[in-house]
Amino acid sequence: MNQKVFLPTSYFGPSTYYKLINSGTAYIEVHETYQKRSIRNRCQILTANGPAILSVPLAKGKTRSHIMSTNIAYEFPWVDEHLKSIAAAYNSSPYIDYYLPSIEEILRTSPATLFVLNSTILDWIRHTFHLAEVSYTKEFHQSCPENSLDLRYKPALYPIGLESYDQVFKAKFGYVAGLSILDLIFNVGPETEIFLRNAVSHKQFRV
């Protein structure tokens, strides 16, 4: 059964977020109000000191706005900080040199809105690792259609459904689930497509 999956827009979200796109017909919610402290503008990477959050700063007064008109703040050089943090965390990973230039190019475009940034990231990941097409919601619904999988507001579920893989600091912290897709990309490179190919069992998300 080709089940519908509803997801929020995401800034380099967890790997399972992208795996879910291959598990049914994926819809990105574009008619909601921005939800703070979520994968919409935050991602988690693994550093020498443990998991760390990278957050895209938003313009003042935009934290209660429509997601498509939520503007990014550039007064602080967050792009430089994110790139510096990513490079430091994954300096010894096998594929840092191969993929970091593309990621830097995306961030350096400095789009005005969070939605455009996230859409550009999603398009790059989809095309690079051959993910399925995505659709966008035509209007907002408080609850999604019956028998669909609504993960717009359930961030705790995203670590579910991905096989473990070798991470830079696995010897120090063990395997850490729920990290940004960046962790998977830098550590397994082109095999990212294999990890994201097989559909997630939706029964795992029935909580």
Beta-carbon contacts of 84 under 8 Å, excluding residues fewer than 6 positions away, are none
* Interval 170-182: pLDDT, tens: 999 999 999 999 9
* Interval 8-29: pLDDT, tens: 999 999 998 998 888 778 899 8
Interior/surface letters 175-199, b for 16+ CB within 10 angstroms, e for the rest? ebebbbbbbbbbbbbeebeebbeeb
Residue 109: burial class (beta carbons within 10 Å; 0-12, 13-18, 19+): exposed
Higher pLDDT, 181 or 146: 181
**How high is the mean pLDDT of the chain?**
88
Beta-carbon contacts of 155 under 8 Å, excluding residues fewer than 6 positions away, are 38, 39
Q: Domain ranges for the chain, please list them.
A: 4-205
**CA dist 122 to 118, 170, 173, 176, 201, Å?**
6, 27, 29, 23, 22
| Mean pLDDT confidence for 124-152 | 82
Give the phi and the psi of residue 8 in degrees, each rounded to 5: -80, 165
Higher pLDDT, 139 or 200: 139
Look at residue 158 and tell me whether its pLDDT is greater than 50: yes
